[in-house]
Amino acid sequence: MRSWQVERRKRTRHLIELGGLVIKAGIVDLTGDDRATILGALLWMADKLKRDQSELSHELWTAKGKQAFEAYAARGKQSLNHRRLNTLRCSQNEEG
């Protein structure tokens, strides 16, 4: 594979991940999938990061994002454990 193809795939993956974050945050649902509203919100956020208190905003948003990732991970584990429990119950019912 050529280097430009590798770089293009990396960029595509990165863009998909960023889009996933927009969806995971609920922004798409909250805005009715209105691209102008989503872009406006992102521009507002960028403007806020350029201002005097950008460090505070950055720290607050980073902490909130980390908490959300931890919550999603915990929910994923709970969901996985729930599926395992259901599988176990089904197999026990089939045996019994």
* Residues 38, 4 share a domain: yes
Residue 62 sits in the same domain as residue 94: yes
CB-count burial class (<10 Å; 0-12, 13-18, 19+) for 53: exposed
* Domain co-membership, 39 together with 10: yes
Whole-prediction pTM value? 0.67
pLDDT of residue 76: 80
pLDDT of residue 95: 54
pLDDT, block means (10 residues), the chain with 96 residues: 92 94 93 96 91 85 93 76 59 58
Instruction: Identify whether residues 95 and 73 lie together within a single domain.
Output: yes
pLDDT (0 to 100) of residue 48? 86
pLDDT of amino acid 85: 57
Domain that holds residue 72: 54-96
Question: Does 59 lie in the same domain as 42?
Answer: no
Taking residue 36's Cβ as centre, other Cβ atoms within 10 Å add up to: 8
Rg (CA), the chain: 20
If asked whether residues 38 and 83 sit together in one domain, one would say no
- Domain co-membership, 90 together with 67: yes
- Same structural domain, 70 and 30: no
Give the residue from 33, 50, 67 where a domain finishes: 50
